[in-house]
Structure 1
Amino acid sequence: MKVLHVTPSYFPATKWGGPIRSTKAICDGIHATPGMKVQVLTTDAASPDRHDRVIPAALPYPVHFARRVAGHSIAPGLLARLPAAITWADVVHLTATYSFPTLPTLAIARLLGRPVIWSPRGALQATAEWDDAPNARAKHLFEKAAQVIRPANTVLHVTSTVEAKGSVARLPGIATTVIPNCVDIPALPPKTLGDGLRLIYLGRLHPKKGIDLLLDAMERLPATTTLDIYGTGTPRYDAMLRSRAARFAGRVRLHGHVEGPAKSTAFAKADLFVLPSHSENFGIAVAEALAHAMPVITTTGTPWQALDHQGCGRCIDMVNADLAAEIIGLTNGDLIAMGRRGRAWMQRDFSAGAMNAAFADLYEGVTAPAGERVTV
Structure 2
Amino acid sequence: MLDAVGAEANPTREHDLEPFRVLATCGGFVPGHRYGGPVRSLVQIVESISESIDLTLVTRDRDLATPTPYPGLSGRWVRQSGARVFYLTVSRAGQWRQLRREFRDTSFDLLYVNSLFSMFSLVPIIAARLGVLRVSRILVAPRGELSTGSLSLKRRKKQVFLRFWLPLLRTLGVVWHATSDREAESIRRACPWAQIEINRSQVSLPYEPLPPGPVVPGPARLVFISRISPEKNLILVLRALQQVSTPMDLDIYGPMENVGYWEKCQNLFARLPTTVQVRYCGELAADEVRSTFARYDAFVFPTLGENFGHVIAESLSASCPVICSDQTPWTDLLTAGGGAVLKRLTADDLAGQLERFAALDQVARAHARRAAGDAYRSWRRRVDGPNILEQARRASWVRPGDPIHPSCCGADS
TM-score when scaled to structure 1? 0.84
Please state how far the C-alpha of 1:256 moved relative to its aligned partner.
Answer: 2.1
Aligned amino acid, residue 299 of structure 1? S
Aligned amino acid, residue 340 of structure 1? G
Is the counterpart of residue 177 in structure 1 residue 204 in structure 2? no
Name the counterpart of 1:63. 85
Aligned partners of 1:149 and 1:160: how far apart in 2?
21
Name the counterpart of 1:318. 344
Alignment equivalent of 1:200, drawn from 201, 223, 228? 223
Please state how far the C-alpha of 1:38 moved relative to its aligned partner.
Answer: 1.1
Is the counterpart of residue 85 in structure 1 residue 103 in structure 2? yes
Q: 1:145 to 1:131 in 2, by over 3 A?
A: closer
Does the 8 Å CA contact 2:219/2:247 hold for their aligned counterparts? yes
Please state how far the C-alpha of 1:39 moved relative to its aligned partner.
Answer: 1.4
Aligned partners of 2:79 and 2:101: how far apart in 1?
25
Aligned amino acid, residue 229 of structure 2? H
Alignment equivalent of 1:348, drawn from 381, 401, 404? 381
Q: 1:235 to 1:260 in 2, by over 3 A?
A: same
Aligned partners of 2:287 and 2:135: how far apart in 1?
44
Aligned amino acid, residue 361 of structure 1? Q
Q: 1:79 to 1:176 in 2, by over 3 A?
A: farther
Name the counterpart of 2:259. 235
Percent of aligned pairs sharing the same letter:
23
Name the counterpart of 2:315. 289
Does the 8 Å CA contact 1:183/1:350 hold for their aligned counterparts? no
Is the counterpart of residue 105 in structure 1 residue 124 in structure 2? yes
- When Rg is computed on C-alpha atoms for both structures, the one with the higher figure is 2
SS at 2:139's partner residue?
strand
CA distances 1:141-176 after superposition (whole Å, capped 9, x unpaired):
345234325663421101122222222322341211
Alignment of 1:6-155 (within 5 A): 6-30=25-49, 33-49=50-66, 51-55=67-71, 56=73, 59-60=80-81, 61-69=83-91, 77-78=95-96, 81=99, 84-85=102-103, 87-110=106-129, 111=131, 112-125=134-147, 128-130=148-150, 132-134=152-154, 136-142=156-162, 144-148=164-168, 152-155=172-175
Does the 8 Å CA contact 1:122/1:281 hold for their aligned counterparts? yes
Does the 8 Å CA contact 1:98/1:139 hold for their aligned counterparts? no
Aligned partners of 2:118 and 2:94: how far apart in 1?
13
Aligned partners of 1:14 and 1:78: how far apart in 2?
24
Aligned partners of 1:179 and 1:82: how far apart in 2?
31
Q: 1:345 to 1:327 in 2, by over 3 A?
A: farther
Aligned partners of 1:79 and 1:138: how far apart in 2?
30
CA distances 1:100-130 after superposition (whole Å, capped 9, x unpaired):
13222123334335201111111122xx445
Does the 8 Å CA contact 2:298/2:323 hold for their aligned counterparts? yes
Choose between structure 1 and 2 for higher RCO, CA contacts under 8 A separated by at least 6 residues: 2
Does the 8 Å CA contact 1:41/1:78 hold for their aligned counterparts? no
Aligned amino acid, residue 218 of structure 1? L
Q: Which has the higher helix share?
A: 1
Alignment of 1:321-336 (within 5 A): 322-330=349-357, 332=360, 333=364, 334-336=367-369
Aligned partners of 2:96 and 2:162: how far apart in 1?
20
Q: 1:305 to 1:78 in 2, by over 3 A?
A: farther
Aligned partners of 2:127 and 2:166: how far apart in 1?
12
Q: 1:28 to 1:108 in 2, by over 3 A?
A: same
Aligned partners of 2:353 and 2:238: how far apart in 1?
14
Q: 1:230 to 1:143 in 2, by over 3 A?
A: farther
Does the 8 Å CA contact 2:209/2:373 hold for their aligned counterparts? no
SS at 2:224's partner residue?
strand
Alignment of 1:248-327 (within 5 A): 248=272, 251-308=277-334, 310-319=336-345, 322-327=349-354
Please state how far the C-alpha of 1:259 moved relative to its aligned partner.
Answer: 1.8
Aligned amino acid, residue 297 of structure 2? D
Aligned amino acid, residue 103 of structure 2? A
Q: 1:210 to 1:129 in 2, by over 3 A?
A: closer
Residues 56-65 or 291-300, more deviating: 56-65
Does the 8 Å CA contact 1:245/1:253 hold for their aligned counterparts? no
Name the counterpart of 2:393. 363
SS at 2:119's partner residue?
coil
Structure 2 portions without partners, runs of 5+: 1-19, 403-411
Aligned amino acid, residue 37 of structure 1? D
Aligned amino acid, residue 372 of structure 2? G
SS at 1:15's partner residue?
coil
Residues 111-120 or 306-315, more deviating: 306-315
Residues 154-163 or 140-149, more deviating: 140-149
SS at 1:229's partner residue?
strand
Aligned partners of 1:45 and 1:343: how far apart in 2?
33
Aligned amino acid, residue 216 of structure 1? R
Does the 8 Å CA contact 1:109/1:115 hold for their aligned counterparts? no
Does the 8 Å CA contact 1:91/1:117 hold for their aligned counterparts? yes
Alignment of 1:210-229 (within 5 A): 210-229=233-252
Does the 8 Å CA contact 1:272/1:295 hold for their aligned counterparts? yes
Aligned amino acid, residue 39 of structure 1? T
Structure 1 portions without partners, runs of 5+: none
Aligned partners of 1:314 and 1:368: how far apart in 2?
45
